[in-house]
Structures are given as C-alpha cells and as structure tokens.
Chain A
C-alpha cells in the first residue's frame, strides 16, 4: 500500500504503518492524522517526537506501560498517565502515535 503527499509516494504496510522509517517527515504525521480525523497539536507532537527519540536510542517502539512511565518522567506527572495519552490518541497511544511517528507497530501489539 502507499499514499501520496505533494507528488511523493510513501509506502506503507497493510495497516498503514510507514514501510521505511527514513521516509518520515512531519507532513506524513499530519497526513495520517487527518485520515483519522485527528488534528495534531503541540501535545500530540510532544509524544510523537518522544517516540522518535526513543526509537532512535533503543531501536524499538516502547510498550504503552513503558511509554506512560517515560512520558511522566520527561514531561511531568500530569501527562504520564494513560487517561491523558488516550485522550490525545484514542486508538491507543502506542499504536496510533507510533504510526504517526513513522515507527513500526510496537512489539507485542496485536
């Protein structure tokens, strides 16, 4: 599968995750979010950028539990809970945010 932004084509897997991590740019995240009727604000971007950094460092997308803990540590307690993250990403913070961040689906996520 693939989609197109401004004449450039982006390959995805059957669930819409970007096939090549290196293809990612912020426009990709905006495009994917729009497809889900989601408007990305600063709070979304904090999480997306965090995920990209986490992947860069550890070569995996973190599990929700790990993401929640790490976000709390980095961005403050009021953001380090699943309620906050699910409000931002109702399809599941790990699944949906990872997709916008251009990462593969988190390990163990079915």
Chain B
C-alpha cells in the first residue's frame, strides 16, 4: 500500500428497503472504489438483512438491488464483515446470506468468499484500525 491510501469502513445498520440508506450506501462504496483506497464493509443490526438471500421486492414496488452486492468483488471490495450477534438476534446464520465471492489476483484468480462472520469484539478491533468510518 502506497502513501495516501486510507482504510475506509462503511457500516450498514439498516434494513435494505423502507429507507434509501442501504442503496445509497452501496452506491457510495461502488463510486468510492475508483479511488483505490482500502475498503471494507460492515453489516450490523438490521443491516444484516441487506445480504439476505432470496429477496423479492415485487410487491413493494422497489427495485431489488441485492444482485448488485455480487458485483462488489469486481470493484475490489472483498472484505464484508457481518456481525455474528446481529445475525443470531434475528434468527439467521451464514447460510441465509448471499454467496459473495471475489477473484484473488495474487492467488491465480481463485474464487474466495467475501463475507466474513465476526463477533462484536472482533468488529470493535477492526473499527480501531480504520482511518475513516462512514455510517449508513
């Protein structure tokens, strides 16, 4: 990592629909990816619903943007931390989440999972390491 590279963490706390936060937050990440910073995303509280498999928005008249999370790997955003406690409180596990992968350029373009489940303590440590934290 050269000079001028900062660690950015985007924290997603809200359900995907009902407010514009989740979609706007995702768009900011995709735009920000052009600036070659070190980026990670966090999903806590109702934010874990953003990564839920099998979303169907047909009756809510909103666009289902969950397929867009699968593009994050193409944008070199491949560290998606999901808080274990938030999942458990909502009766969910890793199996309920989208399968998100990226191709590791340094390892012969092998497909690797982007989602990492972390507990609250690990998340706090990760937050300590960031230069910038943005909440959505």
Contact = CB atoms under 8 A, between A and B. Distances in A.
B74 A70 contact: yes
Interface stretch (A7-15, A33-41, A60-68, A79-87): A60-68
A66 B68 contact: no
Contacts of A6: none
A60 B68 contact: yes
A108 B31 contact: yes
Contacts of B70: 57-58
Interface string B63-79: 11101101100110000
A59 to B, nearest CB: 5
A63 B75 contact: yes
B30 interface: yes
Contacts of B74: 62, 66, 69-70
Given A108-B30, A108-B31, A108-B34, A59 B75 contact: no
B21 to A, nearest CB: 16
B104 interface: no
B96 interface: no
B30 A59 contact: no
A94 to B, nearest CB: 11
Given A69-B74, A70-B74, A107-B27, A59 B65 contact: yes
Contacts of A58: 67-68, 70-71
Interface of B: 27, 30-31, 33-34, 63-65, 67-68, 70-71, 74-75
25 contacts: A57-B70, A58-B68, A58-B70, A58-B71, A59-B63, A59-B64, A59-B65, A59-B67, A59-B68, A60-B30, A60-B68, A60-B71, A62-B71, A62-B74, A63-B34, A63-B75, A65-B34, A66-B71, A66-B75, A69-B74, A70-B74, A107-B30, A108-B27, A108-B30, A108-B31
